[in-house]
Structure 1
Amino acid sequence: MNRLLRRPSRPAALTAMVVLSLIAALLTAPAAHATPAVQYTNPLATQRADPHIFRHTDGYYYFTATVPEYDRIVLRRATTLQGLSTAPETVIWRRHASGEMGAHIWAPEIHFINGKWYVYFAAGRADDVWRIRMYVLESGAANPLTGTWTERGRIATPWDTFALDASTFVAGGVRYLTWAQQEPGIATNSNLYIARMGANPWTITGSTTRLTVPTLAWETRGYKVAEGPTVIQRNGRIFLTYSASATDANYCLGMLTASASADLLNASSWTKSQNPVFATNATTGQYGPGHNSFTVSEDGQSDILVYHDRNYRDISGDPLNDPNRRTRLQKVYWTADGTPNFGIPVPDGITPVRLRSYDQPDRFVRHWEFRARLDANVSPLADSQFRIVPGLGGGGTVSLESVNFPGYHLRHRGFQAWVERDDGSATFRADATFTRRAGLADGSAVSLESVNFPGYYLRHRDLQMWVERDDGSAAFRTGATFTLE
């Protein structure tokens, strides 16, 4: 068994500014063999659903999303992902007063194609709000927030039926469109499709391929839905994530996988994961994660999952009328076999890190039935994720809080390291408090010194984690040094 057994209480809310300052103090340049840690504060934006973030060559991130009024398309930009949280927002287009594009303005995506900006979105008619179809806007301006946008009309597909969530990607030099649509003769709300793009970014050409139909239990809760397709490419494969089920706490992410060299218009080239890859987590207080996109960190080294969810389960009435879906960010990790591991939706506040062993770089600090230890290929991922929070003992120190068991912290007890619930005692809080030091084996890495036992450091020995005195040996110093990712 690789989980703690007791259900934790939720930690008190932390002031983002205080936490960010502590994070800045803790993080240093990572060692060459580590993937750098990236951290953000969630939620990135309130009342913004179906988020899409595009990083452009001009040094800006561009962020658009569905607004709860469903009446306009908004855009903001910043040079950092966190900066999008407070960046001014511009309305670049509003729904029509009548006819097409007059209602349910949903799921905009912004892309830069052949020197111009394009926004894909879905919209209903003013006189028939559920007649949802896909449309495209175009702008030739360098700055899409200030440029003029031209309506390029509806994306024509083989059927004139409910269609939404257009997205585009390039593989093997070919640009593709993926989308969700209700196909005549199939009793589902929407399935996923792919086709090549034609002479322009609002026209498909050639055959259309149905990629998947929602049939599994987790795809059909409330409604039979597969929607919101988006692609991330790595390790010679194409991973297409999509959203499934009703837009309440049942909402979750599924994934299709294909070889980058395969015929992507052949449905048999794609393999469906039989379980959701990202789903509601009541322990962390995150419900209905879905409709994601992908971007990259500021240093270009880490893939970032962008998605929406709610911080409560129960919704009164139609979930589509509930305005409180929030845009969130967290790092994507990659497994040894080259597939993405999204983990769980992390708690609100500062996103977590993993502590990678400096001298055994394939291993991470994790909890296993309360005991802290060092392991490779940690499953579930969240067992090796910790939020660096202000030290429970105060004084500019830090504590390490478990991600999947909020309120539990890494502490020493009898000089063994455990992950246990904060009982509020002075003893626990001192045992769970550390001072950040430059790495004992490498000053660009990190070592953690016990506050109540100065000169004692968190270190691994025999794959277990301990808090022990620095004896000056190379073995101790490498075992007490970690890189953060």
Structure 2
Amino acid sequence: MSTRPPTPSRRALLRALAALPASALLLGEMPGLLGTALAAAPPSGSATRYTIVPFLNSNDGTVNVYQSDDATDFRLTKASAYTPPSNRIRDAGVLKHTNGYYYLTYTTHTWQDVSTTIGFARSSDRVNWTFLYDYTVPLANLSRAWAPEWFVDSDGSVYVIVSCSLTSDEWIFTPYLLKAANSALTAWGSPVALSGIGSNHIDTFLVRNGSTYHAFTKNETTKYIEYATASNLTGPYTISRTGDWAGWGSYREGPALVQLDNGGWRIFFDGYGDGTYYSSDSYDTFATWSAPAALPVVSGTARHFTVVKETVSGGPSLAKGVTRSFRSANFSTRYWQSQSALLNLPVVSASSTAAEKQASTFTVVAGLADANGYSFRDTSGNYLRHWDFRGRFDANDGTSTFAKDATFIARTGTSSGSLRFESYNYPGYYLRHYNYQLRVDRTDGTDLFRQDSSYVPVTAWA
């Protein structure tokens, strides 16, 4: 975590700047779970695709498009993909609608200005966007309408949650719900406040899990992301987690959630206090969370985004029930090999011994924890699994922990025909070679890491 001194709050900065003279101011979606797909590894020939459309730390007049297959390593798809015809674009939320189009909604003005509208844009391909309209939020005495977020309920109804402040106190925000009045998303119902969350909360993000609505919202006084639940969409919500309840730290905003391929939930949030973008995972319905980890590539560049998750065609394919050897994509003479139960990457050739060739041959089977994933069995019947982040071969003990440790999700590699194998229970961690030993390490977003974690399935040595 950063040891920098705390950054002044946005509200404090806004009040201070307001007092200065002008001359001093320079989703295949699951119903109700926005941007998520059914929790399972993608089937053979398909791939998971996560899309974000953030505005830039250096420029709130445009947005970039990034995509990822693992919700960790986001790669730039198009820079300056959309620039509105006027005003700004901040806090952009993205939706895959039932008509096949992608939609953006966003804050239309920079934070210094009065802003009573939210913007909308549309795309057929996530990359090229067309401005639709600016919508004036019909709230009496409205001062600012900020950070609109999409929500789709279990009946397919589409909503936008928008944080609004009134002229009586332009820096005190309350979350309101706007319901789409038509399928074209061009008409909206009257704003309804989310009961129980109350004023001085901003950037509210909702997901529905079963019959419960879960809200993640930033408290503008404490600068912590809080957690609330309700049995009805409009509330009343009960805020049950406050302060640093999840270990994410303070000066965090813009929470957005997506469900991962292994069923866990990942939250993304903007660490504006230290200039870092973070993610954190939960596997117990939001009760506990992993330590926040900085996102590679986009940290320091991207600001306040939401995520669309889809399963798309054209993903990696690897036959199951057959034997294969696995060649390093960037060290073409080196192959996976079991050595004293550990997975290493030695040189293997036609002149290698029969024992070496046999130790470099593996049976590809359906994933022990997810049949769409993959597990690998050596010639003695032991399975490749990670233990203390090291790749090793052990007998299956029948536990769910072993099954997860021994399951990998195939992702597309860096060269033609190559694959990357992501840990099922440590999303964003890959089998990669280091000093010719195979470990499960978290991607750092570099091309070298991607090359070191790419392997080509080839005809078995034995």
TM-score by length of 1: 0.49
| Partner SS for 2:190 | strand
Deviations 1:80-137 (A, max 9, x none): 2113xx32232133576x62x322x211012333343311110111242111111121
The DSSP-based 3-state class of the residue aligned with 2:131 is coil
- State which of 246, 268, 274 in structure 2 corresponds to 1:241: 268
Percentage of matched positions with identical amino acids: 15
Corresponding position: 1:278 with 2:308: no
- 1:133 corresponds to: 174
Q: Which amino acid aligns with 2:205?
A: S
- Structure 2 distance, partners of 1:34, 1:356, is 18
- C-alpha distance in 2, partners of 1:162/1:132? 5
- 2:222/2:243 contact within 8 Å kept: no
Q: CA deviation at 1:213?
A: 2.2
* CA deviations over 1:406-425 (Å, ceiling 9, x no partner): xxxx8xxxxxxx9xxxxxxx
2:105 counterpart of 1:68: no
CA distance in 1, matches of 2:241, 2:121: 34
* Cα distance in 2 for residues equivalent to 1:359 and 1:108: 40
Structure 2, gaps ≥5 residues long: 1-41, 50-68, 70-74, 316-373, 375-384, 387-400, 406-410, 423-429
Q: 1:293 aligns with which of 302, 306, 312?
A: 306
Corresponding position of 1:219: 249
**Is there any run of 5+ residues in structure 1 with no aligned partner, and where?**
1-29, 265-269, 303-333, 340-351, 387-401, 405-409, 411-417, 419-457, 462-472, 477-485
Query: Is 1:91 matched with 2:134?
Result: yes
Measure, in 1, the Cα distance between the counterparts of 2:255 and 2:136: 21
* 2:224 and 2:252 in contact (8 A); partners too: yes
User: Residue 169 and residue 207 in structure 1: after superposition, are their counterparts in 2 closer, same or farther (change >3 A)?
Assistant: same
Supply the AA of the counterpart residue of 1:107.
A
Q: State whether residues 212 and 230 of structure 2, in contact with CA within 8 Å, keep that contact through their aligned partners in structure 1.
A: yes
- Aligned partners of 1:285, 1:189: CA distance in 2, in Å? 22
**Counterpart amino acid of 1:293?**
T
- Counterparts of 1:289 and 1:231, CA distance in 2: 17
Deviation at 1:163, TM superposition (A): 0.9
Structure 2-normalised TM-score? Answer: 0.51
The one-character-per-residue Cα deviations of 1:309-353 (angstroms, maximum 9, x if unpaired) are: xxxxxxxxxxxxxxxxxxxxxxxxx998979xxxxxxxxxxxx96
Partner of 1:109: 149
Question: Is 169-178 or 74-83 further displaced after alignment?
Answer: 169-178
Q: 1:206 to 1:126 in 2, by over 3 A?
A: closer
Q: Give, in whole Å, the separation in 1 of the partners of 2:280 and 2:48.
A: 26
Asked whether 1:82 is paired with 2:127, we answer yes
User: Structure 2 CA distance, aligned partners of 1:251 and 1:94?
Assistant: 31
Aligned to 1:152: 191
Task: Determine if contact 1:53/1:62 at 8 Å carries over to the other structure.
Answer: yes
Contact 1:134–1:164 at 8 Å: present in 2 too?
Answer: yes
Counterparts of 2:48 and 2:90, CA distance in 1: 28
Out of 191, 196, 200, the position equivalent to 2:225 is 191
CA distance in 1, matches of 2:81, 2:191: 31
Query: 1:182-206: per-residue Cα shift (whole Å, max 9, x none)?
Result: 5xxxx723431221242xx3x2136
The equivalences for 1:17-416 within 5 A come to 32=44, 35=47, 40-45=77-82, 48-69=89-110, 70-83=115-128, 86-94=129-137, 99=141, 101-103=142-144, 105-113=145-153, 114-144=155-185, 147-157=186-196, 160-182=198-220, 188-198=222-232, 201=233, 203-205=234-236, 207-210=238-241, 213=244, 219-220=249-250, 224-225=251-252, 227-246=254-273, 250-260=275-285, 270-274=287-291, 276-279=292-295, 287=300, 289-297=302-310, 299=312, 354-355=413-414, 362=421, 375=438, 377=440, 379-382=441-444, 386=447, 402=448
- Alpha carbons 2:175, 2:199 under 8 Å: kept: no
Corresponding residue pairs, total: 292
**Which residue in the other structure is 2:364 paired with?**
none
| C-alpha RMSD of matched pairs (Å) | 4.6
- In 2, the alpha carbon distance for the partners of 1:167 and 1:192 equals 11
Amino acid in structure 2 at the alignment position of 1:138: K
Between the aligned partners of 1:162 and 1:298, the Cα distance in structure 2 is 37
Question: 1:294 offset after TM fit, Å?
Answer: 1.8
- Judge conservation of contact 1:77–1:87 (CA < 8 Å) in 2: yes
Q: 1:474 to 1:135 in 2, by over 3 A?
A: closer
Give the AA of the match of 1:139. A
1:375 Cα offset (Å): 4.9
Is 1:229–1:242's contact at 8 Å kept on the other side of the alignment?
A: yes
Deviation at 1:33, TM superposition (A): 6.5
Secondary structure of the residue that 2:130 maps to in structure 1?
coil
2-structure distance, mates of 1:36, 1:374: 28
> Aligned in 2, Cα 1:88/1:291: closer, same or farther, shift over 3 Å?
closer
CA distance in 1, matches of 2:222, 2:195: 20
Q: Does the Cα contact within 8 Å between 1:195 and 1:208 map onto a contact in 2?
A: yes
Distance in 1 of aligned mates of 2:219 and 2:412: 38
Q: How has the CA–CA distance of structure 1 residues 285 and 242 changed in structure 2, closer, same or farther, with 3 Å as cutoff?
A: closer
SS for the counterpart of 1:271 is coil
Q: Aligned residue for 1:329? A: none
CA-to-aligned-CA distance 1:424-460 (integer Å, 9 cap, x gap): xxxxxxxxxxxxxxxxxxxxxxxxxxxxxxxxxx997
1:390 alignment partner in structure 2: none
SS of 2:100's equivalent in the other structure is coil
**Runs of 4+ residues over 6 Å off in structure 1:** 36-39, 334-339, 363-367, 458-461
Q: Distance in 2 between matches of 1:80 and 1:132?
A: 34
8 Å contact from structure 1 (residues 252, 278) kept in 2: yes
Shift of 1:245: 4.4
CA contact (8 A) 1:241 1:256 kept: no
CA 1:353/1:271 → structure 2, altered by over 3 Å: closer, same or farther? same
**1:176 & 1:31 partners in 2: Cα distance?**
29
The 1:151–1:278 alpha-carbon spacing in structure 2 relative to 1, beyond 3 Å, is farther
- Compared CA separation, residues 459 and 299, structure 1 to 2 (3 A): closer
